[in-house]
Chains A and B, each alone.
Chain A
Amino acid sequence: MRKFPINMHLNVDSFLPASDAEKEYMVQMRPSTTFFRDGVKRLLKNKIATISFIMIIIITLACILIPLFWPYKYDKQLGISLGKPVDPTYANLRPFEYGETEQAKIAAGETVFPHIFGTDSAGRDYFIRVVYGTRISLLVGFFASLIVLVIGMTVGSIAGYCGGKVDIVIMRIVDIIYSLPDMLMVILLSAALNNSGLDKLIQGTVLEKIGLNILSLFIVFGLLYWVSMSRLIRGQILSLREQEYVLAARACGAKPGRIIKKHLMPNCIGVVIISTALQIPSAIFTESYLSFLGLGVNAPMPSLGSLASDALNGIHSYSYRLIIPAVVISLIVLSLNLFGDGLRDAFDPKLNK
């Protein structure tokens, strides 16, 4: 066909029926994404959150793995060995310094594992103590948040779903607990637990090693700190239960337990993950300053707080002993907070708008 510049005739070739391949091309089928995968994708785009997450992984792995191969024990006083007088040269070593017998070994050509952070006043390797301290801090953080999560979620969802009088009663209890000073509760509880004979009960278990003080910390978390979590979840459930899909589930005869589990919980899981992630650093922080005040783990088990507290005695000569655990606490708390923020942005995009 000849082409004119101003041609009103339509080109017939444009109107041929589409081939199967062309039709296939028009069907846009995107692979189905789930809520979780969507969130992870957004999280990975957030550089700060990703770096924080890697930080947390490294710290966690380090405090699990390092004690397995480290040649020194956290409670081994290097200057003391059976049948010999105490060797004072092992106390208060500076980083990469060696005790007398070790220097002799090096002179004889043997290799001795260095004391990276030196030793403390009792002659214990400081690096492994910091690692153990981190271990305790993380353990407290995760378990305390877990306790808070379980109790808060159960109570909050019951209050939110049942509503009415149940809700009023539970929320008044929450208000009362909210008004109790938590620090006072920890101190009172650890005093009460120490006199309760509970220490005999936990003899020989793992709990004995971390001590009654930490146990009372857990109990306080279980008793007091769930309230903000339960308030948060109650609020979520209150708004979610008015949704029509909940009514639809009730219309087909679903029981309250099923509705909470299948319909309400999955829809507020984003908020739950985020507030749990933000709960961990606050628990670590609480543990640290309690240990600093002497209400934390039992000696010789170290925690970051108690290490910092011990370091106060030699703050002028050995200031690095205070700085190291302080830096580790800051690092853990900071990266958990940033990661929690990243989680919130990734899983709760509504908050950003």
Chain B
Amino acid sequence: MNNNENTPLLEVKNLKQYFDINVGVFKSKPLKAVDDVSFYINKKETLGLVGESGCGKTTVGRTILNLYKPTAGEIWYNGKQIKTKADINEFRKKATMVFQDPYSSLNPRMTVADIIGEPLDVHNLYSTKEERRERILELMDYVGLNSEHASRYAHEFSGGQRQRIGIARALAVNPEFIVCDEPVSALDVSIQAQVINMFDELQDKLGLTYLFIAHNLLVVRHISDRIAVMYLGKIVELADAEEIYSRPLHPYSKALMSAVPVPDPQVARANKRIMLSGDIPSPLNAPSGCPFRTRCPHATEQCAMETPEFKEISKGHFVACHNIDKIN
């Protein structure tokens, strides 16, 4: 174990995830869901990952947990690369996942106790039945479920309660790191607040580190320490949460941040919304060079020729854009 505070808990280096898609009878083409993504997450930190639907956010989360085998790239956890099967198995005791849809992520034929206890069963984390039961009840208590719910089935619960069951399952192995894959987007707004606050509390109490994937910008801003903006399989900007909201540098982030609703009508009227033209291109035929150039108001010839480098502009603020000085 490396206890050095400067070592990030999780580091992702040049991660690529291509899926082969059949076009025609014998031809297949790679779909670049995640294309050369690098970032790190410090201990007890929350990294928010935002972007349009289909930009590869979920794939990043799943590839980190090795649910998909990465096409290329390295994943380092606690100063150790996750490579062999044994590494992955060990890693899964420390890193878990909360899923987007609380309706389909719980097995309808299992009781709540069995759902929450599954990671315990898989990793043999108890010696007696009594110990298992106690651990399950403790977990249910963490997420605010009553102990009498243990013998019920998932379909008897509301969306918010189901998501709590999903969170309890993720906490079962005493993880250090949790990938939250849009954990609140399927819930209604009042429940979203409860669940988000619960994530916050659990982080303080258990010292968790989150990769928080979402497309609701306000939610991400509330919970994240740093935020990464993704576009078409690439991270275009990464900075502190406040920094990226007050001073976005990449033209895509600018457009994105201008779309955040402001609860003050006067300010909202004064703010000018940057409208992007066109749709997100298909990742099957991604544009050459900078992926954003087809919709970027500042695109030049250079953008079509070279892929912009992901470089540090100021401390902790990374941007991938050729014309960063000209625009700002």
> Do the two shown chains form a genuine complex with each other?
yes
Residues of A bordering B, CB below 8 Å: 32, 34-35, 243-245, 247-255, 258, 262-263, 266-267
Contact partners of B93 in chain A: CB under 8 A: 253
Task: Determine whether the beta carbon of A34 is less than 8 Å from that of B107.
Answer: no
**What's the nearest-Cβ distance from chain A to residue B179, in Å?**
8
Query: Do B104 and A266 have beta carbons less than 8 Å apart?
Result: no
For B118, B153, B166, the residue with the greatest tally of chain A CB atoms inside 10 Å of its CB is B118
Among the 9-residue stretches B10-18, B23-31, B48-56, B95-103, the one with 4 or more Cβ atoms under 8 Å from chain A is B95-103
CB-contact partner of B99 in A32, A248, A258, A262, under 8 A: A248
State in angstroms the CA–CA spacing of A250 and B96 once bound together: 10
In the complex, are the beta carbons of A252 and B122 less than 8 A apart? yes
**B151 with A251: CB separation less than 8 A:** no
Give 15 A-B contacts (CB < 8 Å), ordered by A residue.
Answer: A35-B108, A244-B100, A244-B104, A245-B107, A247-B62, A248-B166, A250-B67, A251-B97, A252-B92, A252-B96, A252-B169, A252-B172, A253-B119, A255-B122, A266-B109
Interface of A is mostly: helix
| Chain B residues whose CB sits within 8 angstroms of the CB of A267 once the complex forms | 107-109
Say yes or no: A258-B104 contact (C-beta < 8 A), given A247-B99, A250-B67, A267-B109. Answer: no
**CB distance A254 to B109 under 8 Å?**
no
Q: How many whole Å from B139's CB to the nearest CB in chain A?
A: 13
- Which B residues from 159 to 210 make CB contacts under 8 A with A? 166, 169, 172-173
Q: Is B130 an interface residue (CB 8 A)?
A: no
Interface residues, chain B, with chain A CB atoms under 8 Å away: 62, 65, 67, 88-89, 92-93, 96-97, 99-101, 104-110, 118-119, 122-123, 151-153, 156, 166, 169, 172-173
Q: Provide the bound-state CA to CA distance between A248 and B105, in Å.
A: 7
Dominant secondary structure at the B interface = loop
Closest Cβ of chain B: how far from A222's Cβ, in Å?
29
Whether A251 and B92, one on each chain, are in contact in the complex, defined by CB atoms closer than 8 angstroms, is yes
Contacts of A251 in B (CB 8 A): 65, 67, 92, 96-97
Q: Which residues of A contact B169 (CB under 8 A)?
A: 248, 252
Contacts A252-B96, A252-B119, A254-B122; A35 near B109 (Cβ below 8 A): yes
**Cα-based distance from A244 to B181 in the complex (angstroms):** 12
Give, as a whole number of angstroms, the nearest-CB distance from A245 to chain B.
4
Chain B residues with CB under 8 A of A258: 122
Contact A245 B92 (CB under 8 A): no
Provide the residues of chain A in CB contact with B67, threshold 8 Å.
Answer: 247, 250-251
Contact among A32, A243, A255 with B153 in the assembled complex (CB-CB below 8 Å): A32
> Given the known A-B contacts A252-B122, A254-B118, are A244 and B105 also in contact in the complex, defined by CB atoms under 8 Å?
yes
**Inter-chain contacts of A34 with B (CB < 8 A):** 153
Question: Which of A243, A252, A255, A266 has a CB less than 8 Å from the CB of B118?
Answer: A252
Instruction: Identify the interface centre among A243, A245, A266: most chain B CB within 10 Å of its CB.
Output: A245
> Is the CB–CB distance between B105 and A253 below 8 Å?
no
**B99 proximity list for chain A (CB < 8 A):** 244, 247-248
Instruction: Give A186 to B17 CA distance when docked, in angstroms.
Output: 52
> In the complex, what residue of chain A is closest to B101 when comparing beta carbons?
A244
Whether the pair B97, A32 counts as a contact (CB closer than 8 A) is no
A-B residue pairs, 5 tightest by C-beta: A244-B105, A252-B119, A266-B109, A253-B92, A244-B104
Q: 7 additional contacts, CB 8 Å, given A253-B93, A263-B107?
A: A35-B109, A248-B166, A249-B107, A251-B96, A255-B122, A262-B107, A267-B108
CB-CB < 8 A to A254: which residues of B? 118, 122
Partner of A252, one of B100, B104, B106, B173: B173
**Complex contact B104–A243 (CB within 8 A):** yes
Cβ of A242 to closest chain B Cβ, rounded Å: 9
Determine the distance from Cα of A228 to Cα of B104 in the docked complex, in whole angstroms.
28
Complex contact B97–A253 (CB within 8 A) = no
Which chain A residues lie closer than 8 Å to B96 at the CB level? 251-252
Interface contact A253-B122, CB-CB below 8 Å: yes
Shortest distance from the beta carbon of B300 to any chain A beta carbon, whole Å? 42
User: CA A249 – CA B118 in complex, angstroms?
Assistant: 8
**Nearest-neighbor residue (CB-CB) of A34 within chain B:** B153
Q: Please, which residues of chain B bring their CB within 8 A of the CB of A262?
A: 107, 110, 118
Cβ of B151: which chain A residues have Cβ within 8 Å of it? 32
Residues of B within 8 Å of A252, CB to CB, are 92, 96, 118-119, 122-123, 169, 172-173
C-alpha spacing A141/B187, complex, angstroms: 50
Residues in B neighbouring A266, C-beta threshold 8 A = 107, 109-110
Contacts of A253 in B (CB 8 A): 88-89, 92-93, 119, 122-123
Contact call B153/A248, Cβ cutoff below 8 A: no
Q: B105 — nearest CB in chain A belongs to which residue? A: A244
